[in-house]
Amino acid sequence: MKLTGLTHSTLCLAITLASLSAVAGVTDQDISDSGKRNDQIVVNGLNQAGQRYSTLDTLNTSNVKELRPVWALSFGGEKQRGQQAQPMIKDGVMYVTASYSRVFAADARTGKKLWQYDARLPDGIMPCCDVINRGVALYGDLVIFGTLDAKLVALNKDTGKVVWKKTVADYKAGYSISAAPLIAKGKLITGVAGGEFGVVGKIEAYDPSNGELLWTRPTVEGNMGYVYKDGKAVENGISGGAPGKTWPGDLWKTGGAAPWLGGFYDPTTDSLLFGTGNPSPWNSHLRPGDNLFSSSRLALNPEDGSIKWHFQTTPHDGWDFDGVNELVSFDYQDGGKTIKAAATADRNGFFYVLDRTNGKFIRGFPFVDKITWAKGLDKDGRPIYDDAHRPGEPGAEKKGTSVFVAPSFLGGKNWMPMAYSQDTGLFYVPSNEWGMDMWNEGVTYKKGAAYLGAGFTIKPLNEDYIGVLRAIDPKTGKEVWRYKNYAPLWGGVLATKGNLVFTGNPEGYLMAFDAKTGEKLYQFNTGSGVIASPVTWEMDGEQYVTVLSGWGGAVPLWGGEVAKRIKDLDQGGMIWTFKLPKELVAKH
């Protein structure tokens, strides 16, 4: 009896806590329900699968031309560089990150700024590609994000004041964080970006309430993973079992493979799905072997970070094909059977459909028009290399020998997330058609020393467009429709039950397409390039759409032919929010 009584009071306490936290902020239930609830956006990717799909259909193909801007908010200051965040919405408040590691909270109805947090960034940070950030995680009372100097910062959702701050990695070694952190089973999960020299990529879990490290998992074969118990590191197995299986010499100690774009949590298989960057050193001739787990997708156990399976898209990468692009979970029917699949559109130009229960390759096909570095994929999804398109060994050949590789190292698709429509069963993939010339430079220097480097230049494949938004059937590999864009596409995509697909372009337009036909139904000029991911939600019975505007990111960082196409684009830094007014819904 005594025991029962205890259980009863514990239960009461648990219920009280649960209801308290429901008032206080984002709960685990909110996160699990993210795919069903339209009144809030509490995860990156709109649902846990990362599908960027909304079940809202108030706004649809027949009335989208009535979409109206209702407010805009400037990020202010002189820090108008690339804006890539996906906004979050909770209890009528929008939470969004901006360039230079800033966070803004705004009234979602009016755009009134509620608070702003500016991370104080040290001198000497060396971010790879602009000063972008891709958004926050919400949990309980906290708004959590990663900074350019590789810290996690948790802010109070009402005041914007720092609750805790934690260094994930040393920015002096070249590390930074630009991806949105992930909440999975009450844990805060993050990867890290950068780290060119003497480092190994890692995925880590933290206690969201205080920033305590829970586990760390290196993404290069041979390195030990740890779980932390009472502040003590306990060995939890070597990634890949042992060193030296797919790396020569001691290069596994410094193999790169940074998981810099974050990932998703799939509750149906209880797995964290993350991608990893390319291997180090850059010269592939120095590291014969597959170089696991570079340029791969990994499924991790969220409890302790152990690797359940991996799928490597570009073994022995020699072209800078990061494997970080998002792996989106989806189910489909095949002969009466439900297939638990996951799909990714890789830098290397191939679209992969995997069995997300075990990482096995189901099928793969090119999603861009031209791939030269591989002749195709074998039955296991491994690329069949074309050795004429691997850059030669530096120093071993005459300088100036150049190889042409398509896609370019910026990828058939880069960071910008695709969307999956549960209605059409199609993926909407923001892609780019470009290749690159690569050659070994005769004379190069690095920090006062002679060096062997590679030169390269990106070349558009077509005169009239680089960007292509594609509707792709994951079951057949068939492209259902395409929309061509003059400048490269660099923003995320959103699909809705209203048979709509939204994305933005560097020319500054937020655009809406018919999800079935690709017909462009709406566009609005936001005044600067759109390279962020649009979202939609419902408030006061009306459907809203928001996207950030602000040109920058990696695209403006290169020259050659591509520079000509973007030279007239100007910087910015705004949140744009639209809605379909009630009275106009009735009209249609």
- Residue numbers in the known binding site for Ca(2+) are 196, 278, 320
Write a three-state SS string for 297-312. Answer: EEEECCCCCCEEEEEE
Look at residue 584 and give its three-state secondary structure. helix
**One residue of 61, 280, 536, 543 binding other proteins per CB under 8 A:** 280
238 binds other proteins (CB under 8 A): no
Q: What are phi and psi of 417, to 5 degrees?
A: -75, 140
**One residue of 24, 539, 557, 585 binding other proteins per CB under 8 A:** 557
**Least distance (Å) from other proteins to the CB of residue 258?**
9
209 binds other proteins (CB under 8 A): no
The rounded Cα 210 to chain-centroid distance in angstroms is 25
**One residue of 39, 91, 170, 250 binding other proteins per CB under 8 A:** 250
**One residue of 30, 266, 317, 320 binding other proteins per CB under 8 A:** 320
* Helix, strand, coil abundance in the chain, percent, nearest 5: 10, 40, 50
d(CA 533, CA 261): 14
221 binds other proteins (CB under 8 A): no
For the annotated binding site, the residues are 134, 196, 278, 320, 414-415
d(CA 472, CA 454): 35
- Looking up tokens 């040109």 gives 551
Residue nearer to other proteins on the CB measure, 196 or 355: 196
Show the site string, 408-437: x = touches other proteins by CB under 8 A, - = not. -x---------------------------x
286 binds other proteins (CB under 8 A): yes
**One residue of 523, 558, 584, 585 binding other proteins per CB under 8 A:** 558
- Other CB atoms within 10 Å distance of the CB of residue 423: 15
394 binds other proteins (CB under 8 A): yes
For the annotated binding site for pyrroloquinoline quinone, the residues are 134, 414-415
Catalytic site residue 320?
A: yes
- CA nearest 56: which of 70, 67, 71, 69? 67
Residue nearer to other proteins on the CB measure, 235 or 568: 568
198 binds other proteins (CB under 8 A): yes
474-533 residues in contact with other proteins (CB under 8 A) are: none
5: left (phi over 0), alpha (psi -120 to 50) or beta: alpha
Q: From residue 290, how far is each of 56, 245, 279, 355 by CA, in Å?
A: 44, 9, 10, 21
551 binds other proteins (CB under 8 A): no
d(CA 300, CA 309): 7
Catalytic residue, candidates 320, 322, 386, 473: 320
400 binds other proteins (CB under 8 A): no
94 binds other proteins (CB under 8 A): no
Using CB under 8 A, which of the segments 62-70, 266-274, 556-564, 576-584 binds other proteins?
556-564
Using CB under 8 A, which of the segments 10-18, 27-35, 249-257, 573-581 binds other proteins?
249-257
Residue nearer to other proteins on the CB measure, 208 or 255: 255
**One residue of 331, 378, 393, 570 binding other proteins per CB under 8 A:** 393
d(CA 5, CA 8): 5
- CA nearest 342: which of 323, 322, 324, 362? 362
- Looking up tokens 């805060």 gives 188
Show the site string, 116-135: x = touches other proteins by CB under 8 A, - = not. -----x-xxxxxxxxx----
- CA nearest 394: which of 286, 255, 490, 237? 286
Count of residues that interact with other proteins, criterion CB under 8 A: 66
Pairing of strands 93-98, 88-90: antiparallel
Query: Do 138 and 25 meet the contact criterion of CB atoms below 8 Å apart?
Result: yes
Q: Which residues are designated catalytic? A: 320
Residues that bind other proteins (CB under 8 A): 78, 81, 121, 123-131, 173, 194, 196-198, 248-251, 253-254, 260, 277-278, 280-283, 285-286, 320, 322, 393-396, 409, 437, 441-457, 554, 556-560, 563-564, 567
